Chain A
Amino acid sequence: MSQQERREAVVRGMLDAEGPASVPPDLHGEAVRRGTRMLRRRTVLRRVLWLLLLAAAVAFTIWAAETQPWVEPPSSRTPPLTSW
């Protein structure tokens, strides 16, 4: 056992010496309450994001059906002169 390891063992003993702290009685209840709130908030956020995605998809579909961007617009330029 090296010098450093011996010193570490002494400190480990000091850290362990105080023993487990007395746990406050409502620790579990409070953790569950806060954890449940976090879960609920996450669920709400996920729902809102899905709803936004759905709304964006619907809006895009309506816009695409209206303007039909895949149809070639009528040319506004004069066709090139070929036979003159």
Chain B
Amino acid sequence: MRERQAAQQARRAREFQSFVAGAAGRLLHAATLLTGERSDANPRARALLTAALAATYASWDKLRGEDPYDRTRTVLVVRFARGAWRRPRGRAGLLARLSPQERLVLVLRLYEGVAEEQTAALLGLPVERVRVLCARAVASVLHPPRGPAPAAPGMPPGTLGKAASS
């Protein structure tokens, strides 16, 4: 019993190490985009990724064929979405002027290539809303408003509360 447990633990450690070696760079970049930090100064993104990887490690034996990358990304996104509203936003990153929700949609849809329906399910939003958020995020990345980033650039009134409360 003990021997089998030790063998399982060793296998888990080996598999997890090679997973981290292969996926951490990409996941950290995604996390840095989410938090809106610069890629050379991203303490929040690192903390987020460490927590997500720890959760993946803890459930490694129960993945049953599920892709650990997808699992880690899901944990990352959910943790970010839950905590985003009470954290200060990053200032210097590429997506720093976007709202947390716009960043989530942009990273999932364009950087990670997740389908619209899956993105909507993951964020708990209707598909149309994801489409609108994505279009708005694309527009505001391509045509950044002048001057220091306001709280919510170019947002019609009424959507502001929704975006901030998620």
Residues of A within 8 A of B (CB): 4, 7-8, 10-12, 14-16, 18-24, 27-28, 30-36, 38-39, 42
The total of Cβ contacts below 8 Å across the A-B interface reads 95
* Of the residues A18, A27, A38, contact of B50 by C-beta under 8 Å: A27
With a cutoff of 8 Å between Cβ atoms, the chain A residues found around residue B55 in the complex are 35, 38
Cα(A36)–Cα(B57), bound, Å: 8
Residues of B within 8 A of A (CB): 13, 16-17, 20-21, 24-26, 28-29, 32-33, 39-40, 42, 45-46, 49-51, 53-58, 60, 94, 106-107, 109-111, 134-135, 137-139, 141-142
A45 to chain B minimum Cβ distance, whole angstroms, is: 13
| A-B contact sample (17 more), CB < 8 A, given A11-B142, A36-B57, A38-B55 | A4-B135, A7-B139, A8-B138, A14-B141, A15-B111, A20-B28, A22-B25, A22-B40, A23-B24, A27-B24, A30-B50, A30-B54, A31-B56, A35-B56, A35-B57, A38-B54, A38-B58
Asked if B17 and A23 sit within 8 Å, CB to CB, the answer is: no
With a cutoff of 8 Å between Cβ atoms, the chain B residues found around residue A16 in the complex are 111
Task: List 18 A-B pairs, Cβ < 8 Å.
Answer: A4-B138, A7-B142, A8-B109, A14-B141, A15-B33, A16-B111, A18-B94, A20-B26, A20-B29, A21-B28, A27-B24, A28-B16, A31-B20, A35-B55, A35-B56, A36-B57, A38-B57, A42-B58
